């Protein structure tokens, strides 16, 4: 199945790449970001992120996954919800599209996403899910890849 919505801990999902809902400084944060850093090995992952340095909102970069069952961690920076009239949807769509394209360039056959921006960044969960599903479906219509949307709670 090309798109599967699952309830799980993203750090335990077996996919070629998992996506980290990162901050633009690529620093260990809370929520899913903190869980990914802890599971991967926070010191090693922070060092790899420090070498990259920065990632703009809507963009994606990658690191090795260190102790995770995936091969790569794709870090993407989602928008902070400011009511919906400041380009948040366009930026959120970019997160999914850019992460999927990056995974494709890395020859990944599978990728697992959290619901980007729906935690401390405040994007309404149902709207965030609709954006995710829409962008993922567009991508898999043209490309072979198994995509997991991992919901934690």
Neighbours of 124 (CB within 10 A): 13
Specify the CATH architecture of the domain 3-151.
Answer: 3-Layer(aba) Sandwich (3.40)
Question: In angstroms, what CA-CA distances link 14 with 83, 101, 107?
Answer: 35, 19, 16
Query: Residue 104: which H helix or E strand, with range?
Result: helix 88-105
What does the pLDDT average to over 109-113?
98
Question: How much of the chain, in percent, has pLDDT values that exceed 70?
Answer: 99
Q: Where are the domains of the chain?
A: 3-151
**What pLDDT does 95 receive?**
98
On the question of pLDDT at 1 being above 90, the answer is no
Neighbours of 32 (CB within 10 A): 25
Question: How much of the chain, in percent, has pLDDT values that exceed 90?
Answer: 96
């Amino acid at each position: 199945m090309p798109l599967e919505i699952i309830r799980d801990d993203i750090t335990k999902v077996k996919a070629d790449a998992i996506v980290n809902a990162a901050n633009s400084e690529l620093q260990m944060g809370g929520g899913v970001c903190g869980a990914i850093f802890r599971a991967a090995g926070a010191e090693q992952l922070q060092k790899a992120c420090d070498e990259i340095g920065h990632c703009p909102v809507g963009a994606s970069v990658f690191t090795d996954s260190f102790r995770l069952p995936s091969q790569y961690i794709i870090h993407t920076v989602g928008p902070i919800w400011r009511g919906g009239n400041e380009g948040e949807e366009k930026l959120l769509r970019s997160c999914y599209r850019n992460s999927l394209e990056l995974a494709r360039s890395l020859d990944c056959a599978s990728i697992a996403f959290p619901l980007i921006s729906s935690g401390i960044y405040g994007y309404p969960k149902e709207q965030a899910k609709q954006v995710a599903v829409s962008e993922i479906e567009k991508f898999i219509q043209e490309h072979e890849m198994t995509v997991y949307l991992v919901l934690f709670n």
